Each structure stands twice: as structure tokens, then as C-alpha cells.
Structure 1
Amino acid sequence: MSILNLCVEILQEIGNELSNTGQKNLRAACRYTDYAVAPLFFSSVVLKSSDLRRESSIWGMSRLASGRSGWSTHARTLEIVPGAQNGEEGEWELGSHISEAAVQEFFTSALRSLSNVRSVIWAETEGDSSWQCDVISDYLRSLPLLTSLELSLQRAEDFALPLLSGLRKLKIVNPRWLRIHLTHPDSRAIARSSGLTSLNLSGFHDCATAHAQLWSTLLERDICLREITTTSVSPDLITYLASYSGMEKLTIRGLGGGHFDLSNELAVLFYDTVLPQHADSLVELACPTTHENNWSFGAHNAGAIAKLRALTKMFVGVNAQDVLHADPGTSALDLLFKTVADLPGLHIIAVSACHTSPHRAAVEAAILSAMRSQRPSTTQQSHQLKPVEDDEGDAEPQPKPVVTLALWDPSFKRFAKLFVWLCLVRVTIMMLQ
């Protein structure tokens, strides 16, 4: 029995568990393993937009432009990211004899060779030339199979989203210090993708008019998102969310800023009219608060949370008044654990204190103590307490969980995958005998 007896699917399952170096070594074993693993090895390509004049970049773009590299055939994900700063990689630029027009041609030709890309991650930088943005925008519009776009804005000038019609997943990250707003054309561009299912708008300054246009346009075109991440809440968002059913993942960050009374009113509407619409489908809910208000977990919304029978992950905030000044056994934390004990699919609970609260340290200590002593008794799975970091890179402070309570062992998933492909190998061997 040798590796040549394994089918391509099993070799690819094995390749999925290997690092890039491991995949390279497996490809080098023989032509058969190269054929099987090449689609994995060449599935992703990275271009460094600020290093286009470096010798390695010119060589890499020339190779891509030739169309003879594995990436031209197999690349499904393209990352356009900033490169090294101030020559920190120790590599000299080619020099001034390479004109800007020549660099542009290399870059354009390299992108054109990647015609099978389905997912693009594009991080703008302040040093990007205007032609780079134009070339990338044209390239995005030319991709027939593009379904996912992640855009990180780093420049303060007006942002214009390319008109794309086939997106299913869109993420736009805007550092809050830029104060970039979505415009009406941007809203129309987003809604142009009628099959859009996931939208992440992180870091955008709260602008009621711009977001009203976005949510009203999605409502008008009957686009029902299944995943939403946003840092801006408006009445139009609440109206949009309450108009349909089927939401699966919802993350709302930065709650509580702005008009206090309006924020409380929107929270009441959210728990009374939005959550019931998605009670049968919602698997992940995150709504941590920056200020103490009705968005936090408490007696006023515990009933709505208790009806989320499909929920697997939850991140909520708690108010100091409901934790530090409640009668024994009646605090928001006591109620939280009583509530989640009846949610059969819940795997992970994260709880935070409002970072603007003067009692933040005391609330965080109470959260940590409660999670250690009141782990839900209905589960027989293992438990973990671990800190969780914010992955959005916001410049402004965002509420973070003191700890996360995992009601299962995350390493089990990796073990299960390993067990599955080992079983496949065993079955294949038995069939060959």
C-alpha cells in the first residue's frame, strides 16, 4: 500500500491539514500528489501594493502575467495588502529606470492573469497611487466569479465602491478616525448584488442619513441578509431587520453612544420586534454596549433571548446596577446563566462590562467570579475560560469580554476532521484489498 493508492479527495483532505511548507513537500513527492495538492497550494496569492518596485515583486508579477504559474489556474483568493516599510525586508528597489507606467503594466497584467479569483481582500494604504485604485477597481469589475470582497479603507478622500453585481459577502472596514461615510451611490452599489447574504460595515461613523439610504435600499430590493456586522444603529436598521426572517449571525458594536433616549428606544424595539423574527434561525448574536442602557442583558430582554433556540454563540454586556446592587440570586448574571441553561445549542458565552462605567472593574470581577462558579449545569461537555480579543482593529475603545465561557472543547473539531479523513483512508485501503 502506497500513497499512490489514495484517491485525490483523500490527498486533498490531508493537504488541508498541512501548512504551506507541508503542501509543498507533498507536491514534490510525485506527479500524482502534485496534481492532487496543487489546487490547495496555489489557492491564494498575495500582492504587496506598496512594494511593487521591489525586485521580487517585479519578478512575481512577470511570472503571473505570463499565465504559466499555478496561481493563474488555481488561485481563488487574492490579497492586496501593504508591504514592508522603509526597506525593513532588506531588499533594494530596482531603481528609477523602471518607469511608473511599466510598473502599472506589470501590475495590470498580473491581475488580468488571475481570472478565476472568487474572493478579494484589498487593504488600501495612504501611499497607493491613484492608478492602483483604478486598476484594482477595473479588475474587480472584470471578475466573472467574484463573490466575496473585503475592503479596508486607509485614505481620507471620498470612497467609491465599485459597481459589482455578484457579491454574496461584503466587508468594509473603516478606521473611525477617518470619519468616512457611506454615500447614496455606495448604498446603491451594495444593493446591486441581489444575492448578497453577508454584510460587514465596521468602524463607520454614525450617520443616520447614509445608513437610512442603505437599509431602505436593501428593504426596497428585498435583499434579506443572513449575516450583518455594523457599528451604527438607526431606526432604519431596526425596520429592515424586523421586515423578514432568517438572520443567522448578527453583530452590533459600539452600542450606547449618541442620543441616550433614542438608543434605549431602539433597544426596546430590537428585543421586542427584531429578535422574535429571527428566533428560529439566529445562531450567533453579539451586542456588547459601550454605555449602560437597555441594550445590556437583564430582566427586560431575558425572555427574548430565551426564545433563541438555535443560538450557539452569544456576546452581551451587563449594567453595573443590575450586577452590583441586585438582591442575591437576582442579578443580571444569575438571570443570564438561568436563561442560557435552557438553550440546547449554546457553545460560547461572552460577557462584558460597559467600558464607560465608573464601576467597570467591580463588574468585571463579578463577571469572572460568576463564570467560574455558575457554569451551566445542563451540559456534560468540557469548559474553558479564556480572554477574547477584538478582531476589528477599531481605534476607539470597544467592549471586550472579561472572559469567554466555552461549553465545549474547541480542539474537538480538529480531532473530528482528522478522524474523518483517517476513516476515509482506511475505507479506501479496504476497497483496494
Structure 2
Amino acid sequence: MLPELPVEILQEIAFQVSTAEKKALRSVCKDLALAMDCLIFTTIILNTLGLHSADGTGMIESLVTGALLTDWSRFPTALKIDLVKHQPQKEYDPPNDRLEGLLHLALSSMPNIRTVVWAIHWGYPTWPRRAIMHFLNSSQFIDEIEIRIETRVDMDCSWEQVRGIRKLTINSRYTPTALFTQLTRLVANTRGLEGLHLLTPAEWSQFWITLREQNMHLTDVATNNVTDDFLRYLGSYSGVQRLTLQYPSASTEAESNRLANHFFGSVLPQHKASLLHLSCVAWFEGRWSFGTHNADVISSLHRLSRLWMSVNGHDVPHEHTDNYSEWNAPERLLQIATELPVQHLGIFPADPEESRGTLAGNHKHTFPVSQGIITALLGFAARSSSPSIVVVGVRRRWYELNTTTNPDASFEYFIQR
């Protein structure tokens, strides 16, 4: 009988089924419910926009009652705040000490929260913010925080007591100065920080200046704004394991190429002994793409298991180009990948320089370049007897390396699930 199996085996079975099927199993009997609880109650979603509505009191009381009367509150490891896509018609923020106390009690009842994702928006009520900040400042076990800033309005958030986090992600549509200053202080106070993902529309270089001045060495770094301060920080030490440059560029082609030359020439070599993942997909053609200027440093990353790069159109042979350079960038990138322990390779066409400043990319350019990349991929025969790449992505199409059907390595298209 299924309920008589050990809990560990039941959970292994449940890992293979959907959430709906897990819930169905949970409803069968008490033993199955206990086995499923730790798999179902892993994430709590808290819509604080609804907390100060007419139903807010009932929502929090139900949360607290459920936590006190059952064991479910010990299972969640992630707390997601305000992911519901709606906003109040107007700012309505009456003081409510009772609800604030209840929310604090509900949050405190979940001792195993390790990850917090908090979306901050305009009209944010004060009392939930105080309860959330108290929870963040008092918890000893949170090790990852993601802040999604969806407002131009600054908020007063006290981060002084937040300790112990290993990764901080700041994903912002705007750049509120006071809030970013507070988050910079959080970075300075978090001596054990290992990862920082700073994805903002503005160049908030103070983060990188603070890290360099504090002599803090991150191992997981992501940014969509490559600046001189960022490169000075990254070049000041060795040991980065995961590096994501999300569409690196600058206001002009010349400035973008200058930053790229500095990165590939002086900064990236600092981390060649440690780098496991590198993503450097340029928005526009230029020196950020893979080419003859950086092939040697890419090939020296001997521990790399994941590599995403863009290529320039004139380095990809295809029927719609008149100025092909006769240097086949996709083929060379594939060859380098087979010589490294790469298991996942992404090759993407960059937009032409004349697209800079426009809202949309140049499909007439990128489509034939993508087809040229696929042609190079399907015609590629690895020189290595046991090539290491498993999956190659070209825009939204994915190919899996197959070495069993014939003596030569070949890539076969498959559906990415």
C-alpha cells in the first residue's frame, strides 16, 4: 500500500508529479498528508496590498491561527511578498497596531524561511513594512533577499540589523536614491555576502565602490550596467565563479568597445581559475561579442561549465551578408566549448549598431544570423573523441549533442520543456 512506504520514498515519488497531484495525494490520508506537507508548503505568498483591505484582518488571523494550530508553518523556506499584479486606487494607510502585531506573529511562526522576495511599489502601507522589516532584522536564518523596486517613491527601510545573508538581488525599474543608499549600507554591513545581482536602469556605481573599499570579494555577480567602477572592483581580486553581464553596452559604440576591451583584456583573466558560469550576451554588435579579440581568454577558462555569448553578424557565414569576415565565430565557439567542460552553451546574434537607441531589435538582421549559427551548429564535427557540450541554445531553439548514433558528434533539435 502506498501510505505504508517510507516517507523518503513517498517524497521521491512526489518529486516526479505536479503540484495538483501532490495535493491530491495529500487528501488521501493523514500519513500521506504528513509526507506531502514539506513539499507543498515550501513557499508563502503574502499580498500586503490586500492586508489593509476589508478582508485584511481575516487574512492575517487565518494565517496566524493556521500557524499556531498546525505544523505547516515549519515547512516554508521562501516568502514572496506582493507578487499580485494590482495596486490600490489611492494611498490608504491608517495606523493599525493590532494588524501589525498579528503580521509580525505570523511571520515569526515560520522559522525556516531562507529566501525572501519583496516587491516594493507606490502607496505601500507603513504598518506591513514595519512588520516585514522587523522580521528581516530579527531573523537569524535568511540567507537570500531579492528586492523588486517598482516605484519612483523612496521608502524609509531600516536594514541596519539584517545579517547573515549570502545573496542580494536588486531588480529595479526605477532608481530611488534614498532606498538605494539604504541598500548600499546593507551591502557594507553584510560581511558574508557572496552574491550581488544589481539590475537597475541607472549606473549605481556606489555599490561597487563600497565593495572595493570594504575589500569584499563576491563569487556570484550580475549586472546590466558595466561601468569603470564595476570593472575596477571586479579586477581588484580573483575568485568569481558565476558572472552575468546582461546586455553590456554604453551610450556610444566607442565607449562600449572601450569597456569591453578592458574587461576581456584585464578583468576576465583575473578569474580564469575559478569561473564556472559566464554569460556575456551583448545587445549591439561590437567588442562585447565573441570574436578573434577574446577567443584566447575564453578558451583559457578551464573550469567553465556554462557559457553564453553573442556573435557579430559579419563573423557568421550566411547568405544575406556581403562582408563576411571568413572567421566563423559559431564554429570556433563550439570548438572551444568542446575543449572545456562546458555542458550548456548559448550563442546569440547581436543587433547591428544602427539599432542603438531604438526600442526594438532588427529582426531582418538577427534572423539570418541565427540561421547561419544553426547551419554552423548542424555542420559541426567535434575534434574531441568525447565532446563535453550537452546542450546548445540559439535564441529560442535548443540542440542536444548526440554522440551515440554515429562516430561523429552531431547536434539534434529538441523541445525545451
TM-score calculated relative to the size of structure 1: 0.77
Match of 2:309 in 1: 316
1:297 CA drift (Å): 1.4
Match of 1:247 in 2: 240
Match of 2:165 in 1: 167
1:219 CA drift (Å): 2.8
The correspondence of residues 258-337 of structure 1 with structure 2, limited to 5 A, is 258=251, 260-323=253-316, 324=321, 327=324, 329-337=326-334
Match among 371, 374, 392 for residue 371 of structure 1: 374
Match of 2:405 in 1: none
CA deviation map 1:28-49 (0-9, x unaligned): 3333333332222222211112
1:238 CA drift (Å): 1.6
Q: Which runs of 5+ in 1 are unaligned?
A: 88-95, 389-402, 415-433
In structure 2, C-alpha distance between the alignment counterparts of 1:368 and 1:75, rounded to whole Å = 45
Match among 185, 205, 210 for residue 217 of structure 1: 210
Give the conservation status (yes or no) of the 8 Å contact 2:238–2:271.
Answer: yes
Match of 1:32 in 2: 31
CA RMSD of aligned residues (A): 3.4
Match of 2:76 in 1: 75
CA deviation map 1:336-370 (0-9, x unaligned): 33433433424222313126545762344123222
Percent identity of paired positions between Structure 1 and Structure 2: 27
CA deviation map 1:198-226 (0-9, x unaligned): 2111124024xxx1x32233234332222
Give the conservation status (yes or no) of the 8 Å contact 1:48–1:82.
Answer: yes
1:141 CA drift (Å): 0.7
Give the conservation status (yes or no) of the 8 Å contact 1:172–1:201.
Answer: yes
In structure 2, C-alpha distance between the alignment counterparts of 1:103 and 1:331, rounded to whole Å = 64
1:119 CA drift (Å): 1.0
In structure 1, C-alpha distance between the alignment counterparts of 2:398 and 2:289, rounded to whole Å = 17
Match of 1:352 in 2: 349
**Higher RCO (C-alpha 8 Å, min separation 6):** 1
1:259 CA drift (Å): 5.2
Q: Secondary structure at the match of 1:374?
A: helix
- 1:174 maps to a residue whose letter is S
Give the conservation status (yes or no) of the 8 Å contact 1:45–1:71.
Answer: no
In structure 2, C-alpha distance between the alignment counterparts of 1:381 and 1:251, rounded to whole Å = 20
- 2:370 maps to a residue whose letter is I
Does residue 199 of structure 2 align to residue 194 of structure 1? no
The correspondence of residues 401-412 of structure 1 with structure 2, limited to 5 A, is 403=397, 405=399, 407=401
Does residue 226 of structure 2 align to residue 233 of structure 1? yes
Q: Secondary structure at the match of 2:69?
A: coil
Residues 187, 46 of structure 1: CA spacing in aligned structure 2 closer, same or farther, 3 A cutoff?
Answer: same
1:138 CA drift (Å): 1.7
TM-score calculated relative to the size of structure 2: 0.79
Match of 1:429 in 2: none
Residues 143, 288 of structure 1: CA spacing in aligned structure 2 closer, same or farther, 3 A cutoff?
Answer: same
Give the conservation status (yes or no) of the 8 Å contact 1:286–1:314.
Answer: yes
In structure 1, C-alpha distance between the alignment counterparts of 2:17 and 2:35, rounded to whole Å = 13
Match of 1:124 in 2: 120
Residues 336, 348 of structure 1: CA spacing in aligned structure 2 closer, same or farther, 3 A cutoff?
Answer: closer
Give the conservation status (yes or no) of the 8 Å contact 1:309–1:345.
Answer: no
In structure 2, C-alpha distance between the alignment counterparts of 1:185 and 1:405, rounded to whole Å = 45
In structure 2, C-alpha distance between the alignment counterparts of 1:319 and 1:411, rounded to whole Å = 25
Match of 2:409 in 1: none
Match of 1:17 in 2: 16
Match of 2:58 in 1: 59
CA deviation map 1:98-156 (0-9, x unaligned): 98555444433322323331111111222321333222112211111111111111121
Does residue 337 of structure 2 align to residue 340 of structure 1? yes
More divergent stretch after superposition (39-48 vs 238-247): 238-247
Q: Secondary structure at the match of 2:45?
A: strand
In structure 1, C-alpha distance between the alignment counterparts of 2:17 and 2:185, rounded to whole Å = 42
In structure 1, C-alpha distance between the alignment counterparts of 2:8 and 2:353, rounded to whole Å = 52
Match of 1:419 in 2: none
In structure 1, C-alpha distance between the alignment counterparts of 2:414 and 2:5, rounded to whole Å = 27
In structure 1, C-alpha distance between the alignment counterparts of 2:236 and 2:388, rounded to whole Å = 38
CA deviation map 1:292-349 (0-9, x unaligned): 3321211100111111222233222233444446556414344333433433424222
CA deviation map 1:240-294 (0-9, x unaligned): 2223333222111232223544432321221122222222332221222233332
Q: Secondary structure at the match of 1:140?
A: helix
Residues 338, 360 of structure 1: CA spacing in aligned structure 2 closer, same or farther, 3 A cutoff?
Answer: farther
Does residue 200 of structure 2 align to residue 203 of structure 1? yes
